[in-house]
Every structure is written in structure tokens, then in C-alpha cells.
Amino acid sequence: MNLFYPPDPASVKESSIGGNVAECAGGLRCKKYGLTKDYVLGIEGYDIEGELIQTGSFAKDQTYDLGSILVGSEGTLAIIVRIAIQLIDPSPFSRTFFATFSKQSDAAEVVSGIMASGVIPAVLEFMDGDAIACTLDYLKWTDVIPAAAALVIELDGTPSTVDKETESITPIIKSRNPIQFETTEDDSRRDYLWTLRRSISRAITAAAVLRVSEDVCVPPSKLPQLVTALPDLGTKHNLRVNSFGHAGDGNLHVNFLATEDTLEIHDRIHAAVRELFEITVKMDGTISGEHGIGMTKRAYLPIEVPAPTLELFRTIKAAFDPPNLVNPGKIF
């Protein structure tokens, strides 16, 4: 049976369905196909008292949609033991585009232009120059010219639909004078290009002694502003900063890197992270596009979430888990 899981996390080799549900993860194809929550048909789990909770396809009573509360709750409300996931038929045809640019802002403007055109790519991934350099070194590749930014784009659908969308987005890409630009329908070439994107996280980790990664998300129209702000953020806090992510929905993984692991460097990173979150919220974005809050972001949550909403979150937590024993210390 040839079916696929549409959120398609980039960390597919390490990722689990349980983790996807806990974080309501997105992935490479989330702009067109949606997030994890859009494919959860049912959840079965146990509350703190050991009582069975059944939602969606596992439930007889559909009065309250508890599944929508459990997805993305980061394991703080119940212990999930079974998940029903919807898989779909893959698209009959796809075309992959790879383009590199001399300026990060050019790549970001291409993203904004494509989204404004009405075309919704199955995949629209951004990589900045430093992330590309880390990955080329990690893979020992020499056939990709170093650049300030790169985009991997994939259109899917019927051949005629893909041809029409290709006619729409090609002038947008070319208007920013790409250094390299290619399209392919060949599976082996596509896999080769995807190796570059899927290896980024491991490559960045290998390039530094200390890495702190955040996953902010802004409206795609604000992506050029965000990527332009990141080099200044690195200079201000004396840190190496790079980024990559799901540009189609403005979700950017921003990495703060250092060659030493000291308290002083951690302080600089914390200051840079706070400033990144403040910049993101001012752009009508969110401090967590897909990785949740956990322990590392809970101190920053008030930057985005008003006090009354935080109190409502606490009320929901107390209703499910009065003694605060289920994944304690996360979010609050």
C-alpha cells in the first residue's frame, strides 16, 4: 500500500508519531497539507487517575473534542498509548526546484512572491549561507556552489497543474538572479537534493561545541525582515547564527552556535534568544512554530501569551492533572 504521512518531518529518521502528536509537529509539507493535528483520527490514553480517555475514532461519545486539546499538549495532560493517524495517497506527479542566491533577502523575497502568487508548493524550504556551508562540509560535497541562501521547492499534483504552477513561479525565482537554478523530475536527482536539506540539522550540530536551536514562525510576508535581522542579532551578541526552515509558512529554525560551552556564552545565547522572540512577536509571529514550549521556552511564554490566557492554560492542566504529576515542569 503506497500511502504517506503528509506532515513529513525533516527529522524523519529520528522522529516518532508520539512526539509529533505531543508537539503538533509540522514539517516539510505543512503549508499545503497541514500539521499533525489535521491527521489525528483518534487518541487513546489515561489520565492521572488511570481512567481511560478515548477521542475521535476510538470514542463512542463525541460531545467534547478532547483530541484537539491533547494534540500539542506536550504530554502534560495524559499518557497517550494509542494513536490513529490518517495517511493519504501520494500525488501522481511532482517537480523539484533548487535555487541559490547571493543574498538571503533575495531568497526570502522569492518565498513572499510565490506565496503572494496564489501557488501553494508542496514544499518550500529555506537555507541560509552558513547552514549550507555546514552541510556541504558535513557531506563533503563540492558540486554545490556556496551561496548566501538556497531554496528547495516542490510542486505536486497532475502534470498539467504542475506545468501551470511552474509557469507562475519560475519568473519569480529568476527575478532575483539565482546563482544556480535547476528543476528536476528525476527521483535520484531529487533524492540527492533532499539529502542536502535533510542533513542540515545533523551538520549544524557537528559544526559547533554548543548549539541552541529555536523554531520561530512569522507570516511569510515578514520572512525577508526576519532573515535580515538575524545577522545583526549574531553580531550584537557575538554569536554564530544560522537558519533554515519551512519558509512556505514562515517557520524558521534559528541556531545559535559557539565553539565553547561556558556560563558566559549561555548568558549571551539566552539574551539573543529573548531578543529573537521579541522581534518575532512584533512581526505577528509565534515563538514556537512546531517544537512546543517544554522547559526551555516556558520563561519566554509571557512575551507572546497574555496573562489571562496563561491562567486558562493552567486551569486546563489542573482539570486533567490536579497533583501535577504528568510531565511536570513543562510549559508552566
Q: Mean pLDDT for each consecutive 10-residue tract of the chain (332 residues)?
A: 82 84 86 91 94 91 84 94 94 95 94 93 94 95 90 95 97 97 94 90 95 94 92 95 92 95 96 97 93 90 95 94 92 82
Residues 210, 257: contact at Cβ < 8 Å? yes
Q: Which amino acid type is present at position 60?
A: K
CA-wise closest residue to 152 among 247, 221, 30: 247
pLDDT value of position 241: 97
pLDDT value of position 8: 80
Q: What are the residues whose beta carbons fall under 8 Å from the beta carbon of 243, sequence distance 6 or more?
A: 126, 128, 131, 227, 230, 252, 253, 254, 255
pLDDT value of position 290: 81
Looking at the DSSP bridge assignments, the partners of residue 95 are: 155
In three-state secondary structure terms, 204 is helix
C-alpha cell recorded at residue 215? 523554531
C-alpha cell recorded at residue 56? 475521535
What's the CA gap between 266 and 299, in Å, rounded? 15
C-alpha cell recorded at residue 193? 537534493
pLDDT value of position 324: 93
Residues 111, 247: contact at Cβ < 8 Å? yes
How many other C-beta atoms lie within 10 A of the C-beta of residue 82? 10
Distances (CA, A) of 201 to 58, 67, 107: 36, 31, 20
pLDDT value of position 7: 84
What's the CA gap between 194 and 120, in Å, rounded? 19
What's the CA gap between 5 and 45, in Å, rounded? 22
Write the DSSP symbol of residue 222: G
Cell 509537529 sits at which residue?
Answer: 25
pLDDT value of position 11: 75
Cβ-count burial 16-43 (b if 16+ within 10 Å, e if not): eeebbbbbbbbbbbbbbbebbbebbebb
What's the CA gap between 124 and 186, in Å, rounded? 18
Tell if the pTM clears 0.85, that is, is over it: yes
